[in-house]
Amino acid sequence: MLPLNLSHRIGLRHMSRIGKVKICRPLTNEGFEMADFTGWTVENIGGEPVVDNTNPHSGTYSAHFEGYPTCGAISQTISPAIPKSDIASFICWSYSEYSFPFSSGFIGTLTYDDDTTTEFNIPEFYDQWCQFDFLSVMEDKSIKRIRFYFGSGTMLNGWVDDVNLRCE
Ligand SMILES: [Ca+2]
């Protein structure tokens, strides 16, 4: 049994850690492990993405964009909108079978609570999972929607997985 003063100190330290960590996961089904697009809105633009197990970054499933020349889009609303200053990390993982950075592959769009947007190419490398940091392109505003569009330009497959938004 621990001396009373020691266990008291451990207890205080534990409590202060709990007090600082605010668990905030505003996105639903961020790793597509519900085996479908629950939480996401799917747009058929020259094709429609699917959730399947052909190439997960983690777990069993990922969002699979397949077709030519475009392969659709997925988006998710974040409600209530979250200020950039409250976001601790905001990343996704994407994979293209073949991609020329900045000319094909995934295009991301962040929509803010004033209805302005930031649109950006998600740089990728040939046949490997790449992490993208949304905070590097996000304006100092509150985000209310994220969207991925896959405009391949060539016959290829693309995958998105682990779209993770964490608050401070
Ligand atoms: Ca997954």
- Domain-located, residue 126: yes
CATH number of the domain residue 156 falls in? 2.60.120.260
- Domain-located, residue 110: yes
Q: What is the pLDDT of residue 29?
A: 98
Ligand 1 center from residue 52 Cα (angstroms): 9
- Domain-located, residue 16: no
Q: pLDDT tens-digit profile of 66-80?
A: 866 678 899 999 999
Tokens read off for 64: 């699979």
- Domain-located, residue 59: yes
- Domain-located, residue 20: no
Ligand 1 center from residue 78 Cα (angstroms): 20
Q: What is the pLDDT of residue 17?
A: 47
- Domain-located, residue 117: yes
d(CA 61, CA 4): 49
Ligand 1 center from residue 6 Cα (angstroms): 42
Is the pLDDT at 64 greater than 60? The verdict is: yes
Q: What is the pLDDT of residue 11?
A: 45
Ligand 1 center from residue 35 Cα (angstroms): 9
Compute the chain's Rg from CA coordinates: 19
Parent domain of 145: 26-167
pTM, whole model, 2 decimals? 0.81
- Domain-located, residue 9: no
Cα torsion at 119, 125, 130, 133 (round to 10°)? -30
